[in-house]
């Protein structure tokens, strides 16, 4: 496991190099900027979602065919699909070294401000796809009036639950922490494991951070993020977040550090537990194990205030165009094709993503019916603007906490330190 100091030094190096690596000569691709008239063009695409390899490759093949038919281009797409644990750091390293992909995935809420400030994002405001974005989605990919990415994933999430297990055992979705404890007792009394625990992929323990910060910041701890950005706050003010963290950890499946997201998805879809603190982005993996799996998405209770039991609403994975690409026109054609009027609906449906544009005609998924009701009732918060460096630090801190190697105080100190280091670099 990489040390926190190493991550800090890399983050400083990344910030410094980004500021100095935007020269035109640092592009990643070869080929004529126009790319037409039979020109051969290589387009480099970087997306940290290897579980969707088949879907992306199929859609890219369609794009290549369309480019040939409509513009006479011989396009070769070099698709890079690093693991979710490696993608963020690998992309930063590539950008800092001047080896930028032409199109790359980033988290709309967390990453667009950072990469835009560094000068790496092409302004896509004038592209055709922009007019078709839902009004509720476009703000997440817009900064200072500029649209900087095409959104892929919009998320409504909290925890997922096995509807059949709940129904068969007369269990209702809990609205408070006390009700969650009652659900756990009912399940365990009947020999049912309450939660899937899958800590091998470090991003999974980290999911508790946006869920607890978002809910508390929206209710009892308003202004927390502003105070942290000002260097005046502390996670000690959010120590209540450990209540749900500890509760889930104490009532889950065995050997969690040997189980990653894919094994967790298979176990959950096989009925090995009733709940999982995870998002609907795992739908494709779960349905691959059990195509009839009946699950729902609900808000995670974090305390006994039902007003704090809210759905996290966010736009996450989005595709940006590198400002230093030599094949910008092809890259822009690609991000526009992501929302193609004829082909985009089938593509998004195959990924299990939500409709995000007027061109999407497919019906939303049954497992989102519950979370959609939260959205309709206004029981949501926007995914909190937690710096990526803090989220990265939380992965290791929470893994260590679950393993019994760190205390609550250690986690709080580590999160505070990571935010302080972020402030030093970004002020």
Q: How confident is the model at residue 353 (pLDDT cuts 50, 70, 90)?
A: confident
Three-class DSSP labels, 71-114? HCCEEEEEEECCCHHHHHHHHHHHHHCCCCCCEEEEEHHHHHHH
Whether domain 156-313+382-426 has CATH 1.20.1440.230: the reply is no
Residue-level pLDDT at 38: 53
Distance CA(217)–CA(221), nearest Å, equals: 5
Share of the chain above pLDDT 90, in %: 74
Q: How confident is the model at residue 363 (pLDDT cuts 50, 70, 90)?
A: confident
Distance CA(104)–CA(101), nearest Å, equals: 6
DSSP SS3 for 15: helix
Q: Which residues are bridge partners to 75 per DSSP?
A: 41
Token reading at 26 = 């640092």
Domain with CATH 3.40.190.10 in the chain: 4-153+316-353, 156-313+382-426
Is 13 a residue whose pLDDT tops 60?
A: no
Whether domain 4-153+316-353 has CATH 3.40.190.10: the reply is yes
What residues have CB less than 8 Å from 398, skipping those under 6 apart? Answer: 205, 206, 208, 209, 245, 411
pLDDT digits (tens, 9 = 90+) for 71-123: 999 999 999 999 988 999 999 999 999 999 999 999 998 899 889 999 999 99
Q: What is the DSSP letter of 61?
A: H
pLDDT digits (tens, 9 = 90+) for 14-34: 444 444 443 333 333 334 444
Token reading at 330 = 């092809």
Instruction: Identify whether the C-beta of residue 113 lies closer than 8 Å to the C-beta of residue 121.
Output: no
- Identify the weakest region by mean pLDDT among 97-106, 372-381, 386-395: 372-381
Residue-level pLDDT at 348: 94
């Amino acid at each position: 496991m990489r040390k926190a100091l190493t991550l800090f030094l890399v983050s400083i190096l990344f910030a410094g190099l980004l500021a100095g690596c935007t020269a035109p000569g640092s592009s990643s691709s070869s080929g004529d900027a126009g790319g037409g008239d039979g020109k051969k063009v290589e387009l480099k695409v970087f997306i940290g979602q290897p579980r969707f390899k088949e879907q992306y490759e199929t859609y890219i093949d369609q794009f290549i065919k369309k480019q040939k038919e409509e513009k006479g281009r011989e396009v070769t797409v070099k698709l890079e699909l690093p693991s979710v644990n490696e993608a963020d750091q690998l992309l930063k390293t590539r950008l800092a070294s001047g080896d930028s992909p032409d199109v790359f995935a980033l988290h709309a809420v967390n990453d667009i401000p950072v990469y835009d400030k560094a000068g790496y994002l092409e302004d896509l405001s004038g592209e055709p796809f922009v007019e078709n974005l839902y009004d509720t989605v476009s703000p997440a990919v817009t900064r200072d009036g500029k649209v900087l990415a095409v959104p892929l994933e919009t998320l409504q999430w909290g925890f997922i639950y096995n509807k059949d297990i709940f129904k068969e055992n007369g269990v209702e979705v809990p609205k408070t922490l006390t009700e969650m404890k009652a659900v756990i007792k009912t399940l365990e009394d009947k020999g049912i494991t309450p939660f899937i625990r899958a800590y091998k992929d470090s991003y999974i323990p980290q999911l508790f951070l946006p869920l607890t910060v978002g809910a508390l910041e929206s209710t009892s701890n308003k202004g927390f993020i502003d105070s942290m950005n000002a260097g005046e706050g502390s996670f000690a003010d959010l120590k209540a977040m450990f209540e749900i963290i500890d509760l889930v950890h104490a009532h889950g499946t065995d050997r969690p550090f040997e189980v990653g997201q894919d094994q967790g998805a298979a176990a959950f879809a096989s009925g090995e537990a009733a709940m999982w603190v995870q998002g609907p982005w795992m739908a494709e993996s779960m349905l691959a194990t059990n195509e009839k799996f009946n699950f729902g998405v609900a808000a995670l209770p974090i305390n006994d205030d039902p007003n704090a039991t809210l759905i996290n609403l966010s736009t996450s994975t989005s595709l940006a165009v590198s400002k230093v690409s030599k094949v910008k026109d092809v890259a822009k054609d690609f991000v526009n094709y992501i929302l193609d009027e004829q082909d985009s609906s089938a593509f998004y449906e195959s990924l299990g993503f939500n409709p995000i544009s007027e061109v999407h005609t497919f019906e939303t998924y049954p497992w989102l019916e519950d979370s959609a009701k939260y959205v309709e009732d206004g029981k949501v918060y926007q995914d909190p603007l937690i710096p990526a460096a803090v989220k990265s630090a939380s992965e290791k801190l929470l893994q260590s906490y679950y393993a019994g190697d760190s205390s609550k105080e250690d986690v709080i100190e580590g999160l505070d330190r990571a935010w302080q280091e972020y402030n030093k670099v970004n002020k």
